[in-house]
Amino acid sequence: MTTATAAPKGLEGIVAAETEMSFIDGEKGVLEYVGIAIDDLARHSCFEEVVYLLWNLKLPTVTELDAFKAELRGRYALPHGMLERIKRLPKDAEPMHVLRTLVSALGMHDPDPNAIDPKAARHKALNILGHTPTLIAMFDRHRKGEEIVHPDTSLSFAGNFLYMLNGERPTETMERAFDACMILHADHGLNNSTFTARVVISTLSDMYSAMTAAIGALRGPLHGGANEGVMHLLNDIASPKDVPARIEGMLERKEKIMGFGHRVYKAYDPRATYLKTLAKQLAEDTGNSALYEKSSAIEKVMEAKVAAKGIYPNVDFYSATTYHSIGLDLDLFTPMFAMSRVSGWAGHVLEQLADNRLYRPKAAYIGPHGVAYTPIGER
Ligand code: CMC
C-alpha cells in the first residue's frame, strides 16, 4: 500500500500560489508591494493609494487616486438594516467575533451576494473595505453606550475611522500614524488568513465567505491576535526593570513571547522597523514613554537570548504600543489588522479567481487499516 508523504508541517517553505502583490525576502528582511519597498510606501503614500496599487499593480495618477478615494468614500455608509443589527449585538462581545459576524451578515444585505465575475468581485471588495471601519466603530460606540457617529465622506479611510470611533476629527499626526499602520498591514504574501481566503474562494464560493473565514483565521494568537497578546504582556509587567526576569522565565518555560518570530522572516521584519520609530515618537508625544521603554527592554532581552535563532520583533510587537498611543482599546488591535488586511485578502481573491483551481491537497493517512467492525453492543 502506498502512503502519501506529508508536506512539511505547517506547509513551511511550500509555494502554494502565485501573486503579483507582495514580495518578501525573509533572510534579508525585505517587503515590497508590487516591487516598491514598504518603507517608501509607509513614508510617502496613503492607504488608499496602496490599495489601488495592490489591486491594479501600478501606482495611480492624481486623477485615478481621486476617483478611487471617491469610490471608497461612497462605501463608508452601511447598507440599510446593518446599524439595527449592530444595536442588537451583545455589548460584551469580542470585537473580532463581532467583525466576523457582521462581515458575514453583509452578504445578506447584498442583492447578488454570490456574483464573482471580475466586475462584481471588485465591487464587493470595495464595499467590504469601505464598510469594515464603520462596522467596527459603530459597534465600539454601541458597546460603550455612546451615540453612533456616522461616516464623514470628506475624510480619508484612516481619518474617518478615528472620527467615527472618537466622535471628533483626529489630529493630523494621529491620522498620519494610523494611516501608516494601515499601509504596513495591507498585504503579506501567503500568510495564514490570506491562504484561508484563497482556499475558500477556490471553491467558487463568494467574497463574503472568503472574508469571513479570513477574519476567523486572523484572530488566532499565532497570527493577527498577537498584537493583543503583546499588550497583555506589557500591561502585566510593572516596570522595565522587571522585564529581564519575566522574559527569561518565559523563555525557560518555552513560552512564546507574542510579537516575536515569524515563519518567513529570519531577520528584522521591515514593518517592525518602521513601527518601532513610530511607536517611540507617538509614545513621547502622548506620555506613553513607560510603555515604549518596556517594549524596548523586552526587545533587548530577546535580542540577547534568541536573535541568533532568527527571532526578531514582527509587525505585531510595536503596533501594540502604537495603537495604544493612538488611543485604541486593546481589543480593537486585531480588528485594526483586519481592517487593513481586507485589502490584501480581497486582492488575493481577485488573483485566485483570475486563474482558479480548487485547493484540494491530500492528507497522509497514519491510522490503521482493515479493522473489523465491532457491533455497538459488543464494544
Ligand atoms: N518566543 C519564543 N520563542 C519563539 C518564538 C517566540 N515568539 N517564536 C518562535 N520561537 C522559537 C520556538 O520556541 C522554536 O524553538 P525550538 O526550535 O527551540 O523549539 C523555534 O523558535 C521555532 O518556532 P516555531 O513556532 O516552530 O516557528 P513557526 O515558524 O511555526 O512560528 C510564529 C512562527 C509566528 C507562529 C512564532 O514565531 C510565534 O508563535 N510567534 C509568537 C506569535 C506572534 O507574534 N505571531 C505574529 C506573527 S507576525 C504577524 C502575522 O503574520 O500575523
Same domain, 65 and 77: yes
Q: Specify whether the CB–CB gap between 286 and 324 falls below 8 A.
A: no
**CATH number for the domain harbouring residue 231:** 1.10.230.10
pLDDT at residue 6 is higher than 90: no
What's the domain range around 246? 226-326
Residue with CA at minimum distance from ligand 1 atom 47: 223
Ligand 1 centroid from CA 292, angstroms = 22
Position 4 in a domain: no
pLDDT at residue 268 is higher than 80: yes
Which of 190, 254, 311, 340 to probe ligand 1 with, by most ligand atoms within 8 A of CB? 311
pLDDT digits (tens, 9 = 90+) for 325-353: 999 999 999 999 999 999 999 999 999 99
Cα–Cα distance measured from residue 137 to residue 168, given in angstroms and rounded to the nearest whole number: 12
By three-state DSSP, how is residue 255 classified? Answer: coil
Same domain, 92 and 155: yes
Query: Any idea which residue has 532581552 for its cell?
Result: 301
When the pLDDT of each residue in the chain is averaged and rounded to a whole number, the result is 96
pLDDT digits (tens, 9 = 90+) for 174-194: 999 999 999 999 999 999 999
Residue 263 beta carbon below 6 angstroms from any ligand 1 atom? yes
Q: What is the pLDDT of residue 76?
A: 98
Same domain, 127 and 251: no
Ligand 1 centroid from CA 260, angstroms = 7
Q: What is the pLDDT of residue 337?
A: 97
Cα–Cα distance measured from residue 133 to residue 274, given in angstroms and rounded to the nearest whole number: 23
Same domain, 178 and 296: no
Catalytic positions? 262, 316
Residue with CA at minimum distance from ligand 1 atom 23: 261
Q: Specify whether the CB–CB gap between 312 and 198 falls below 8 A.
A: no
Which of 191, 222, 312 to probe ligand 1 with, by most ligand atoms within 8 A of CB? 222
Same domain, 170 and 198: yes
Of all atoms in ligand 1, which is nearest to the CA of residue 259? 44
Q: What is the pLDDT of residue 111?
A: 96
pLDDT digits (tens, 9 = 90+) for 157-166: 999 999 999 9
pLDDT digits (tens, 9 = 90+) for 106-119: 999 999 999 999 99
Max CA-CA distance within the chain?
Answer: 76
Categorize the per-residue pLDDT at 1 as very low, low, confident or very high, splitting at 50, 70 and 90: low
pLDDT at residue 70 is higher than 90: yes
Position 367 in a domain: no
Residue 314 beta carbon below 6 angstroms from any ligand 1 atom? yes
pLDDT digits (tens, 9 = 90+) for 209-221: 999 999 999 999 9
Residue closest to 278 by CA, chosen among 2, 38, 19, 3: 38
Task: Quote the number of domains for the chain.
Answer: 2
Ligand 1 centroid from CA 256, angstroms = 7
Position 365 in a domain: no
Position 363 in a domain: no
Same domain, 294 and 310: yes
